[in-house]
C-alpha cells in the first residue's frame, strides 16, 4: 500500500500563516510523490526513501513502551532489508542508525506528540526550549566530530546539536529550529496539534527511546495542565545546545536572561521535581512511574 499524500501540509505554520511553496526550500516539499519507494507496512508503519536514505516511521501509539517496541521493529525491518538487498546485489550493504554522515548532512529522528489545541503555543515554546536544550545529557547518542562537517576532532554527546540554527521555525532541513512550528495535526484540527519534535538523536537503546518519549510526554502533560510553575529563559538557546553537547562534566553554566545561570543537570532536575509533584496528585500510572524511576 502506497502512502497517501493528500493529508500532507508541510507549509502550514502553527503561528497562523502558510508559506508559499515557491518561497519554501525545495527539500521541504514532502507532499509530492516523486516516485520513490514509499509504502505502508503491515504493522502500520511507513517505510520510504527520504532524500538519499531509507527512513522508517512507526505507527501511532498511546504510550512510550509501544513507541520503543515499534522502533525496535523498524530496526529489524531495516536489518532484513539490508540482508536481502545484499543477497540480491552480491554486495554487502550496511545500514547505520544515526543522524549525520560526518560530512555536513544531517537527518532527524523525529518524534510526534498529540497535544491540546487550546494550549497557547507560546507555553510550549517557553517550557520546551530549556528542556530540549538540556535533554541530550541523558538522551544523546554520542558523536565523534565537532561542527556540522566534523572538521574538528573530538567527542560530543549529541549527534544533532550542531545542526540547529534557530529557536523557533517551520523548517526541518535548513535553518533548523529547536521548536518546530509545522501545523499538520493528522487529527481533528479544532482539538489537537501534532507537536513535531526534530531535536532528538537516533537511540540504539530501546530503554532510552522509552525514557526519551515518556519523559517528553510527561512534560507536555504538565504544560497542558499548567503544572510547571517555573520558567527558564535562556539567553542563547542555540549556542547553549551546542555547549551542552560538548560538556562531558555537566558543569557548563547556561546563561539566563535574568543574569543568573544553571547547569544542564540543574535544569533537568527542575523538570524531574515538577514531574514528581505532578504525579503525586494523579491516579497511579505504572508506566509513568517507571519513567520517573528511570
Collapsed DSSP state (helix, strand, coil) of residue 90: coil
* Cell of residue 62, nine digits: 498511546
Catalytic residue list contains 50: yes
The answer to whether 185 and 225 have CB atoms below 8 angstroms apart is: no
Query: From the centroid of its chain, how far is CA 188?
Result: 22
* Cell of residue 46, nine digits: 511507513
CA distance 240 to 181: 21
H-state helical runs in the chain: 64-89, 121-139, 206-224, 237-245, 264-279, 286-293
Residue whose cell numbers read 535574568: 258
* Active-site annotation holder among 50, 66, 75, 123: 50
State which H helix or E strand residue 288 sits in. helix 286-293
DSSP structural state of residue 10: T
CA distance 268 to 249: 15
Residue whose cell numbers read 481533528: 188
Residue whose cell numbers read 500563516: 17
Spell out the long-range contacts of 142-145 with Cβ–Cβ below 8 A and sequence spacing 24 or more: 143/99, 143/100, 143/245, 144/102, 145/100, 145/102
Point out the residues that are catalytic. Answer: 50
Amino acid at each position: 500500500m502506497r502512502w497517501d499524500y493528500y493529508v500532507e501540509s508541510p507549509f502550514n505554520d502553527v503561528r497562523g500563516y502558510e508559506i508559499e511553496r515557491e518561497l519554501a526550500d525545495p527539500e521541504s516539499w514532502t507532499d509530492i510523490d516523486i516516485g520513490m519507494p514509499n509504502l505502508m507496512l503491515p504493522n502500520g508503519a511507513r517505510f520510504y526513501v527520504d532524500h538519499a536514505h531509507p527512513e522508517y516511521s512507526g505507527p501511532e501509539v498511546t504510550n512510550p513502551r509501544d513507541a520503543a517496541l515499534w522502533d525496535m521493529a523498524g530496526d529489524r525491518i531495516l536489518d532484513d532489508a539490508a540482508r536481502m538487498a545484499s543477497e540480491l546485489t552480491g554486495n554487502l550493504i550496511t545500514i547505520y542508525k544515526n543522524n549525520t554522515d560526518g560530512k555536513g548532512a544531517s537527518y532527524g529522528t523525529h518524534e510526534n506528540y498529540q497535544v491540546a489545541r487550546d494550549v497557547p503555543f507560546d507555553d510550549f515554546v517557553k517550557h520546551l526550549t530549556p528542556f530540549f536544550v538540556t535533554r541530550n545529557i541523558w538522551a544523546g547518542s554520542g558523536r565523534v566530530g565537532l561542527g556540522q562537517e566534523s572538521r574538528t576532532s573530538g567527542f560530543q554527546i549529541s549527534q544533532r546539536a550542531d545542526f540547529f540554527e534557530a529557536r523557533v521555525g517551520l523548517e526541518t532541513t535548513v535553518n533548523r529550529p529547536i521548536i518546530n512550528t509545522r501545523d499538520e495535526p493528522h487529527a481533528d484540527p479544532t482539538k489537537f496539534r501534532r507537536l513535531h519534535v526534530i531535536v532528538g538523536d537516533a537511540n540504539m537503546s530501546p530503554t532510552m527511546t522509552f525514557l526519551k518519549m515518556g519523559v517528553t510526554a510527561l512534560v507536555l502533560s504538565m504544560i497542558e495542565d499548567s503544572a510547571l510553575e517555573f520558567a527558564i529563559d535562556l539567553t542563547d538557546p542555540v549556542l547553549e545546545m551546542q555547549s551542552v553537547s560538548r560538556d562531558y562534566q555537566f558543569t557548563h553554566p547556561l546563561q539566563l536572561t535574568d543574569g543568573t545561570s544553571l547547569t544542564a543537570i540543574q535544569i533537568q532536575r527542575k523538570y524531574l521535581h515538577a514531574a514528581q509533584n505532578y504525579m503525586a496528585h494523579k491516579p497511579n500510572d505504572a508506566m509513568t512511574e517507571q519513567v520517573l524511576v528511570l
